[in-house]
Amino acid sequence: MDDITTLQQRPRFSRRGFIGGAAALVMTGGGTAAWALDRFVVEHAEVTDTSALWSSTTTSSSSSSGTVNGTIWSSDAGTISITAHTSGSGSSASAWYVADLQLADASYLRTAFAEDTYGENIIEYPSVMASDNKAIWALNGDYYGFRDTGIVVRNGVAFRDAGVRQGLALFSDGRLALYDETTTTAAVLVSQGVWQTWSFGPGLVDDGRALSGLDSVEVDTNPGNHSIQGNQPRTGFGMIEPNHFVGIAFDGRSSGYSQGVSLTAFADLFVDLGAQVAYNLDGGGSTDMVFNDALVNKPLGTGKERGTSDILYVAR
């Protein structure tokens, strides 16, 4: 990869464990179980101390000028406001949280890896990553580390070039854009001024309109569990205009608290907020929003976080 060297290999057992069919494979023993362990559980660190790579590319905001008052924050980086929303009751109850980010520059929107390490199956709680990176606000990312495909560009550095799906790119001028990973490369994207990419999907909104066919889309993330249909907890990120972003954490799978939301209804939320572009990130139990060192939402109704591989955030 461009400007990336393998610094240290340190395979260890992940704290997340198996997903779906991988557990059954382990029970059968033999070579298949060993493969499943290696692919889905054992940590594979490819680049450690990633923050050192980014020290010359990230922009610092002034912590002395920033103020926190409830869920309102401002500094020379910009302003962040978070609003809580509820609707319905009982089995039709819904709860979601909207973060409005108006940033002075796209470089203030950063990403971080679990344990400051790029690789597969390396996880931390989003709140821990947020604290370690002095984030005032953070949202879980695309869980890049569960997959070995997808283009990964973070804070202007290319880490992986294995495009297979629709991705989301943040350019240095503050624009968000959906793109086809199979038609480009990580190096080309960096040369074009791409600051961040995410690889999960699907795209929800483009040119201010909700995309069609969301009720039948599948995402190639979990073996044997491609469907992300129905009402689910979801995480999404969008752009109202360059450097004006919106993130949504929509809770779900909790009777009486929040049932979750369909992809179509999720897209409509972004349209209603004025988003011109929006993208679906990793959801389910991974849905987490953090503000001022506290978890904003209530994942799966329990408020207990699940380890994931990355966050997007704004530093204090």
Question: CA-CA distance, 310 to 143, in Å (whole number)?
Answer: 6
The pLDDT assigned to 217 comes to: 85
Is residue 169 within 8 Å of residue 196, measured between CB atoms?
yes
pTM of structure: 0.86
Q: What is the pLDDT of residue 216?
A: 85
For residue 45, what pLDDT is reported?
Answer: 84
- Please give the pLDDT value at position 70: 54
pLDDT confidence of residue 10: 31
Q: Which residues of the chain have pLDDT under 70?
A: 1-30, 35-40, 56-71, 220-227
Which of helix, strand or coil describes residue 211?
coil
Q: From start to end of 228-301, where are the E strands?
A: 234-241, 244-250, 277-281, 289-291, 294-295
Burial (CB count <10 Å: 0-12, 13-18, 19+), residue 291? buried
Q: What is the pLDDT of residue 64?
A: 37
Beta bridge partners of 186: none
91-100, pLDDT tens digit by residue?
A: 999 999 999 9
DSSP string, 75-89: ETTEEEEEEEEEE--
CA–CA gap between residue 273 and residue 40 (Å, rounded): 37
Domain positions in the chain are: 49-315
Q: What is the pLDDT of residues 155-171, one digit of tens each?
A: 999 999 999 999 999 99
